[in-house]
Amino acid sequence: MSEISPRVNSAILPRFIGQIVRIPCKILTTTENTVTVQTSDGGEILVKFTGDSGITTTFVEIIGHVVDATTVRKAGVINLKSDLDLQVADKVIKLIHDPRFFSTIFS
């Protein structure tokens, strides 16, 4: 179970404190070592990193450790294109975490 990194939105993130998750999101603001992102359900998460963020596009998938309910420490990033339908992504995320399906996907 510790090897998985399920996709989450801001509502589901708090369940995975101390674990690794993936967040499809949109970049809102950037500083030297943080990035504020908007998740698929419209919430905002703070992503911390060191060095170069590696972020080059507006839509990305952040992979990282959950520090607390609104903070993630970045472990990796996948740059997506300049459009991503976050609403569709959100529907998928909700489905993934449905108890009927979660244990089958991440068994």
Partner 1 sequence: MSYQLDAGVCLQLHTATPNDEELFGSPHTLQILSLKKVGSKQNEATPNSPADRYRVVLSDGTHFLQAMLATQLNDMVSEKHIQRFTVISLERMSCNYVQEKRLLILMTLRVLGQEDVKIGDPISLDPAPGSAAPTPAPAPGKPEKAEKAAQPTSSTSAQPAASRTAAKTNWHPIEGLSPYQNNWTIKARVTQKSDLKNYSTQRGEGKLFNVTLMDETGEIRATAFNQVAETLYPKLEEGKVYYVSKGKVNLAKKKFSNVMNDYEINLERNTEVEECLETTNLPMIKYSFVSLQELQELSKDSTCDVIGILKEYSDVSEITSKATSRQLKKRELTLVDRSEYSVRLTLWGNQAEGFTPDEQNPVIAFKGVRVGDFNGRSLGMIATSTMTQNPDIPESHSLRGWYDSSGNNASFQSHTGTGSFSGGAGGGFTRSEVKPLLEMKLEANRIPESEEKPVYFSTKATIMHIRGENIAYAACEVCNKKVVEEGGSWRCEKCDKTWPKPVYRYIMTFAVSDPTGQLWFQGFNEVGEVIFDKKADEVVEIKERDDGQYNHILYKSCFKTYNFLLRAKRDSYNDNSRIRYGVSRILPLDYKEECEALLTLMETPWGQKDFTADFDSMTLG
CB of 94 to partner 1, least distance (A): 10
Residue 105 interacting with partner 1 (CB under 8 A): no
Tell me whether residue 32 or residue 81 sits nearer to partner 1 (CB atom): 81
Of the candidates 44, 43, 19, the one whose C-alpha atom is nearest the C-alpha of residue 34 is 44
CA angle 58, 62, 67 (to 5 degrees): 130
Tell me whether residue 33 or residue 91 sits nearer to partner 1 (CB atom): 91
**Residues forming beta bridges with residue 44, ordered by sequence position:** 38
Residue 95 interacting with partner 1 (CB under 8 A): yes
Q: Locate 64 and state its tokens.
A: 């990282």
**Dihedrals phi, psi of 81, to nearest 5 degrees:** -80, -165
Residue 92 interacting with partner 1 (CB under 8 A): yes
Contacts with partner 1, residue ranges (CB under 8 A): 85, 88, 91-92, 95, 100, 103-104
